[in-house]
Copies of this chain bind each other. A is one copy, B any other.
Amino acid sequence: MARCDLSNAELLDPDPNPDPDPNPDPNLDPGHESAGSSQSSHRLLAYSDALISIIATVMILPVAHTAVETNEELRQSLQVLLSTKIAVFLMTFLIVSMAWAAHSRLFQVIVRIDDSLALFNLVCMMLITLLPYTFSLMASFPEHVLGILLFCSCVMVIGMVQTVIVIYAFRRPHLLHQRLQGSPHLPEYQHHLLRVILRVPLMCLLASLAAAVCFQLSYVLLAVVIFLPYMSSWLQWLRIKVLGPEEEPAGELLLYSFLPHEPVSKERLEAFSDGVYAIVATLLILDICEDNVPDPSVVSQRFNGSLVLALRSYGPEYLAYFGSFATVGLLWFVHHSLFLHVTKVTRLMGLLNTFSLAFVGGLPLAYQLTHEFPRHSQNELEAIQISCVIIFFAGLFQLCIWVVALHSQKECLGPAVRYGGREHLLMFAKLWLYPCVALGTFLLTCVLSQFSSPIFHLMELTVPVAFLLLRLLLRLLLALRHSLLQRPSSSTLPSAADSENTFGPI
């Protein structure tokens, strides 16, 4: 496909498997090749991000649709079932996020595509969409070898397709990153890349072989596969903290080093996050559109033909939808505000973002729960408290991203939100708002348990207004503090002005 502009003489040799180019010289004829057959990968990556983020988030649906019995006797067993399902959801989310991260890193090296690469990538996408299904099969039938085999073979086939993509792209150096094109070490880079890509599929091959002997062993191997990147990232971070930073490898290899400082594509991280926020925001309306359009015969029989009465019975669902949409929308807004000022995303920040998104993905479950129980029951209280916990952690991990970015603020942040920057305090307030409000609501519902539902809905209504007035509120607060500090003793004025400068004017 990359040879579309060959002369007619070569028409007679329709070799579908073109010879490898032993001399990847970018100066050979780069414009000639790249103008015709290669394309910007921007839209392909945006589509992949949309697909993967939907797939990662969609596994909350089987959890959210678990039939909740109001019978108190069944509650205990249901809680076990639910917590198993939530664990499966979190694992699936991490696995698909890992697949996304690998895809993202691969296409940081391969920056242009052609038709064949686009089609190979679609195959890769289709296989990634199968990961949640095979994983939940494995989780439902932990003692069946078939579940393990299906999941492992899915991972292995993805690895094979990615290997094909790498080999295909390295034979056409005009598709690679500018810095690699001129490099004389191209075969070594390809070798390094393939080694990193094939590490996970090889572990899965081992795990599926081990399943024939003893299926517990294969779970140990799979757990190593899933948590290895996270653990190695934390270990290396700790080592750097303790022993000081080691010699960093050359720029090209940094893309595949698994170091916590390794840069991640900010654009793709945003696109992936947008996808998760968008699908989470719409999951509840999806249910509402399907389940809450009353049947005409039911309305005429049970409600004497009154549509108002029929719709009134859905009231809690509507309230849950508005609450869910507002919360997800505002968490997106905070994320958006933060990443406007982020200039470089490191692996560690990407990891924290994944954790935050995993909690955001849990929101539909929380809201589903809040309207399914009778008023003033213990279940309702627990459901509302679970919602608070989920919102708290989703907001907290967003805050962590900022704290990590502040740690190396010169590289990672724009000047406006650094210490002393003009928007620093505002960003601080935006990121603290949800964790604080969620914690406050949680504590209030513990004390005033009979009012838990009104408290929660009041919180949902006030937070959007708080965001709208945040700048004004902060300005008022600072003015208040300023005037309070000024009055008792005028000598404290310089220090007050000083501390204000630390946060910067708003």
- Mark A residues whose CB is within 8 Å of B: 1, 4-5, 8, 11-12, 14, 16, 36, 39-40, 43-44, 46-47, 50-51, 54-55, 58-59, 61-62, 65, 115-116, 118-119, 122, 125-126, 129-130, 132-133, 136-137, 140-141, 144, 146-147, 270-271, 274-275, 277-279, 281-282, 285-286, 288-290, 292-296, 299, 307-308, 311, 322, 325-326, 329-330, 332-333, 336-337, 339-340, 416, 422-423, 426, 464, 467-472, 475-476, 478-479, 505-506
State the Cβ distance, A340 to closest chain B Cβ, in Å. Answer: 5
**A464 and B275 contact, Cβ closer than 8 Å, known pairs A36-B423, A293-B140:** no
Contact of A62 among B16, B50, B293, B322 (CB under 8 A): B293
Contact of A14 among B44, B326, B476 (CB under 8 A): B476
B122 touches A329 (CB 8 A): yes
CA distance A4 to B473 in the complex (A): 12
B289 touches A416 (CB 8 A): no
A337 touches B115 (CB 8 A): yes
B129 touches A285 (CB 8 A): yes
CA distance A505 to B9 in the complex (A): 13
Contact of A329 among B125, B141, B296, B333 (CB under 8 A): B125
A286 touches B58 (CB 8 A): yes
Q: Which residues of B contact A339 (CB under 8 A)?
A: 43
A to B CB contacts below 8 Å, 14 in the list: A5-B422, A12-B479, A43-B339, A50-B278, A54-B282, A59-B289, A125-B329, A126-B325, A129-B325, A133-B289, A137-B293, A140-B294, A140-B295, A141-B307
State the Cβ distance, A275 to closest chain B Cβ, in Å. Answer: 6
Q: Which residues of B contact A115 (CB under 8 A)?
A: 333, 337, 467, 470-471
State the Cβ distance, A369 to closest chain B Cβ, in Å. Answer: 17
- The chain B residue sitting closest to A58, CB to CB, is B286
A118 touches B55 (CB 8 A): no
A286 touches B61 (CB 8 A): yes
Q: Nearest 3 CB-CB pairs, A to B? A: A50-B278, A122-B329, A144-B307
A118 touches B333 (CB 8 A): yes
Contact of A290 among B61, B277, B289, B292 (CB under 8 A): B61
**A270 and B307 contact, Cβ closer than 8 Å, known pairs A50-B50, A119-B333, A122-B329:** no
Q: Which residues of B contact A340 (CB under 8 A)?
A: 39-40, 43
A119 touches B464 (CB 8 A): yes
